[in-house]
Amino acid sequence: MNYPWSKDIDWKLQSKDKRVYIMRDHNWSFAAWEVSKIENRIQEGSLVVHVDSHFDDVPDGLVVRSLFETKSKEDIMKVSRSYDRSLGQVPESNLMHIDNFIWASIGRGTIEEVIFVSSDKLELNVLSDVREEYAHCLPENCKYSSKLFPNTEEFLNSYDGEKFCRVHR
């Protein structure tokens, strides 16, 4: 079956109330978070619950070209654009990718906590290790933290809706 989004790396849509974003490639999550911050729909130091088969926590997102100079929605969209892997393109090393968008938003102070729900067997990057190489890219008062749940069942058993809202305000 051929879906309209399947061959378009820029495919994304947003609900009318601007609270739900659906996109083909993960790098557009960065755009959704950063535009939401500009529009005062989320605050600095927000929480992300990332449910995926892999972590997408590559810290080179902190050195994406124009990451810290970007202020407008238009510029955020430009920074968020990635490359088409299906065409065999070799990306520049300082582009947003489908696996480094989380650290880009950590660097901008938008995201401060991530709950990973993933069966990925790799190790999560921790702030102390990332700080060694990328200290100049992190906010001075960066308090990034993460939690890992190996599956949705364990995550859902750890939080009910009321407790989740109370703990993560």
Residues 6+ apart with CB under 8 A from 136: none
Tens-digit pLDDT profile for residues 25-64: 788 899 999 999 999 988 999 999 998 999 999 999 999 9
- Flag whether pLDDT at 116 surpasses 90: yes
Cβ-in-10-Å burial (0-12, 13-18, 19+) of 5 comes to middle
Task: Count how many Cα atoms sit within 13 Å of the Cα of residue 28 in the half-sphere of its side chain.
Answer: 14
Of residues 56 and 87, more confidence is placed in 56
Element (H, E) at 11: none
Mean pLDDT for the stretch of residues 82-105:
76
Find out whether 100 and 34 touch, Cβ atoms under 8 Å. no
Find out whether 118 and 50 touch, Cβ atoms under 8 Å. yes
Dmax of the chain from CA atoms?
49
Kindly report the length of the chain.
169
- Flag whether pLDDT at 20 surpasses 80: no
DSSP secondary structure, 19-40, as one string: --EEESSTHHHHHHHHHHHHTT
Cβ-in-10-Å burial (0-12, 13-18, 19+) of 3 comes to exposed
* 10, two tokens: 């820029």
| CA atoms 168, 142, 78, 90: torsion sign | negative
Mean pLDDT for all residues in the chain: 84
